[in-house]
Amino acid sequence: MPHGERIAEFLLSIGAVKLSPSQPFTWVSGIKSPIYCDNRMIYSHPDARDYIVNALASRVRTLHVEPDAVAGTATAAIGWAALVADRLKLPFVYVRAQAKDHGAKKRIEGDLKPEKHIVVIEDLISTGGSSVSTVSALREEGRGTVSDIVSIFTYEFLASLDSAQMQKVALHPLSSISVLLKVALTQGRITEEEARMVEKFIEEPAEWGKQI
């Protein structure tokens, strides 16, 4: 079974994915969504966690350039990046959303040497905003090279693809919303109508919430 489908099965079976069209979730970005995926729940399930760490590490190994270090985006991807770095025996750092207002006032935590090639690990990509910010910090503050972002899941928003193109980075998601909907339909967890509603949201995330 492909990684994408197996990961979707894990997300559904542990209850990491929630559907609530009548009372939408509000994301940090302000977007109102009928669906919410909480990959942090996977940390509590050893079988799913081990499978996903292996899949992430395997994807990193197949990149066109072998990375010198692994970086995670704070806070949700810190654990995943640390686990992948440990599996690959590579240095690990994480990137804060904002610089600290005390001490060294830096965004990058860890010992990152300049002129290194860094792969970014994300738990989930929605609009791509946090990923873009992380890449910028690693290039500017870290004086490193970043060409790839490997993630567990993506909502497949066009905005994330645009952001990646602007930053000249490639996205490598293991699973996606389209795969998850397919698995959920096959398992009878959602109806065709609910699947179409989520697809409509993915097509026009900013507009969908205004129609509630």
Q: What type of residue sits at position 197?
A: M
For 88, residues 6+ apart whose C-beta sits below 8 A from its C-beta are 57, 60, 61, 70
Q: What is the pLDDT of residue 57?
A: 98
For 209, residues 6+ apart whose C-beta sits below 8 A from its C-beta are 24, 31, 32, 33
Q: What is the pLDDT of residue 1?
A: 62
CA–CA distance, 16 with 155 (Å, rounded to integer): 14
CA–CA distance, 163 with 158 (Å, rounded to integer): 9
How many domains would you assign to the chain?
1
| C-alpha distances out from residue 119 to 42, 61, 73, 122, Å | 22, 11, 11, 10
Q: What is the pLDDT of residue 96?
A: 95
Tokens of 172: 């490598």
CA–CA distance, 47 with 4 (Å, rounded to integer): 16
| C-alpha distances out from residue 123 to 18, 77, 153, 162, Å | 17, 5, 6, 19
CA–CA distance, 94 with 106 (Å, rounded to integer): 11
How, if at all, do strands 17-19 and 35-37 pair?
Answer: antiparallel
H-state helical runs in 62-102: 78-88
CATH of the domain at 69: 3.40.50.2020
The alpha carbon dihedral of 188, 191, 192, 196 has a sign of negative
What global pTM score does this model have?
A: 0.94
Domain of 31?
3-211
Q: What is the pLDDT of residue 30?
A: 84
Q: What type of residue sits at position 90?
A: L
The pLDDT tens digits along the chain (212 residues) read 689 999 999 999 999 999 888 789 998 878 899 999 999 999 999 999 999 999 999 999 999 999 999 999 999 999 999 999 999 999 999 999 888 777 677 999 999 999 999 999 999 999 999 999 999 999 999 999 999 999 999 999 999 999 999 999 999 999 999 999 999 999 999 999 999 999 999 999 988 877 76
